[in-house]
């Protein structure tokens, strides 16, 4: 059984007006990572300073990055044969953002089943004050060295997902 754990970084929270600036993902088979995907995207708009302060992605880092259509096409090629996607808060944020960007850039996108570690954690661990990725990493003693960068958050989400599967 293969699945892809993914995460995105964006210029903001609005799927209509904001843009994806980084996509990270790992393909997993038998609980083991077999392939990585990580690309910055030139969003064509400035990255707000308050966003850069969180994810440490700045305009100069994306200035020479690939344009959204190309990155989204490559990402779709990466995920197209997988059984499902896994993400943290993916059902409310990452996946709808991806759908919006695929539509905006006319990249054909087939719907995927999405397993959300926020919802999964709520069903497995009752009564937490927070189900944030940081909170779950603390509970499971998982290090997320570069939090709020896509690939680092992907690995943290992957390890959280594996821990939740054990319960």
Helix, strand, or coil (residue 140):
helix
pLDDT tier, 149 (very low <50, low <70, confident <90, very high otherwise): very high
pLDDT tier, 164 (very low <50, low <70, confident <90, very high otherwise): very high
The domain locations on the chain are 2-166
In the annotation, is 148 catalytic? yes
Q: What is the mean pLDDT of residues 28-57?
A: 97
- As a whole number of angstroms, the distance between CA 53 and CA 66 comes to 22
Nearest to residue 67, comparing CAs of 45, 96, 51, 99?
45
pLDDT tens, 93-118? 999 999 999 999 999 888 999 999 99
The active-site residue out of 76, 88, 105, 148 is 148
Q: Which residue has the tokens 């990249």?
A: 107
How open is the CA angle 12-18-19, to the nearest 5 degrees?
A: 105
Q: What is the mean pLDDT of residues 8-31?
A: 96
Q: What is the mean pLDDT of residues 71-94?
A: 96
Tell the CATH superfamily of the 2-166 domain: Ribonuclease H-like superfamily/Ribonuclease H (3.30.420.10)
């Amino acid at each position: 059984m293969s699945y892809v754990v993914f995460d995105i970084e964006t210029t903001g929270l609005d799927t209509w007006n904001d843009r994806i600036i980084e996509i990270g993902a790992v393909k997993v088979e038998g609980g083991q990572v077999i392939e990585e995907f990580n690309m910055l995207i030139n969003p064509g708009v400035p990255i707000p300073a308050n966003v850069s302060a969180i994810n440490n992605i700045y305009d100069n880092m994306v200035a020479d990055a690939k344009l959204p259509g190309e990155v989204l096409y490559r990402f779709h090629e990466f995920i197209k044969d997988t059984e499902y996607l896994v993400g943290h808060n993916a059902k409310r944020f990452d996946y709808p953002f991806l759908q919006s960007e695929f539509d905006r850039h006319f990249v054909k996108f087939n719907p995927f089943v999405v397993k959300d570690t926020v919802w999964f954690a709520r069903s497995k661990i009752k009564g937490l004050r927070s189900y944030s990725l940081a909170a779950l990493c603390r509970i499971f003693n998982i290090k997320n060295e570069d939090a709020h960068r896509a690939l680092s958050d992907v690995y943290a989400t992957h390890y959280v997902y594996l821990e939740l599967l054990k319960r």
